[in-house]
Amino acid sequence: MADQMKVLVICGSLRKGSYNAALTRALPALAPPEMKLITAPPIGSFPLYNADVQDASGFPGPAEDLAAAIRAADGVLFVSPEYNWSMPGVLKNAIDWVSRMKEQPFKEKPVAIQSCSQGILGGARMQYHWRMSMTFLNAVIFGTPEVFVAQAQNKFDKETLALTDQPTKDVIKMQLAAFAKFIAKMKK
């Protein structure tokens, strides 16, 4: 489809058997036809943010790659676990790096979030920390429907990690359709 909207998907877990990564793999089947989901460049190789490193040698290549991918996208969808009631360090570190760029890539960018955890709140608390950071970066934050995948260990196939839970699929479908409309409105 020529005029498909591009949504970059950033996963906050580096784990091979990650439920959040498994969730990202389920998204294309649940997205509306006008939405094309693009996997973000990897964030796991970023050095820890250090302004001295930035001053001495500029931004690391992987951070530049991520920023370019965010700028090229019509919207960004985060899919992340909650670590100790907040964002995983690897995700926060990636946000911190690109946030220092002159052409800050989240500025006026439509952003949405889904979280998946093995706990009963589905990562709700990390979403509020993420919303705080995105507010500071002047992103355009999508509100509802919210997607919290709680007790993820019961919602994916044990062998294939395919998403099997129908109510979860339904709410994701609703969120992606609403996010598509949100992005389309922003582009007008």
Ligand X SMILES: Cc1cc2nc3c(=O)[nH]c(=O)nc-3n(C[C@H](O)[C@H](O)[C@H](O)COP(=O)(O)O)c2cc1C
CA distance 142 to 159: 33
Is 168 a residue that touches ligand X (CB under 6 A)? no
DSSP state of 12: S
CB of 111 to ligand X, least distance (A): 19
Is 18 a residue that touches ligand X (CB under 6 A)? yes
CB of 150 to ligand X, least distance (A): 8
Rounded to 10 degrees, what is the CA torsion of 128, 177, 169, 71? -60
Is 128 a residue that touches ligand X (CB under 6 A)? no
Our separate counts of H helices and E strands in the chain read: 6, 6
CB of 151 to ligand X, least distance (A): 9
Q: List beta partners, residue 39.
A: 9
Quick count: other Cβ atoms within 10 Å of Cβ 178?
16
* Cβ distance to ligand X smaller for residue 19 or 179: 19
* Cβ distance to ligand X smaller for residue 125 or 173: 125
Are 141 and 135 in contact, with CB atoms under 8 Å apart? yes
- The interface with ligand X within residues 83-122 (CB under 6 A) comprises 83-85, 116-119, 121
Instruction: Name which position in 7, 46, 63, 81 contacts ligand X (CB under 6 A).
Output: 81
Of the candidates 90, 12, 97, which has an alpha carbon nearest to the alpha carbon of residue 49? Answer: 97
CB of 75 to ligand X, least distance (A): 21
Of the candidates 35, 46, 125, 38, which has an alpha carbon nearest to the alpha carbon of residue 80? Answer: 125
* Cβ distance to ligand X smaller for residue 40 or 116: 116
* Cβ distance to ligand X smaller for residue 49 or 83: 83
Q: What are the residue ranges of helices labelled H in 100-162?
A: 124-136
Is 164 a residue that touches ligand X (CB under 6 A)? no
- The interface with ligand X within residues 143-162 (CB under 6 A) comprises 152
Are 11 and 20 in contact, with CB atoms under 8 Å apart? yes
* Binding region for ligand X (CB under 6 A): 13, 15, 18-20, 81-85, 116-119, 121, 123, 152
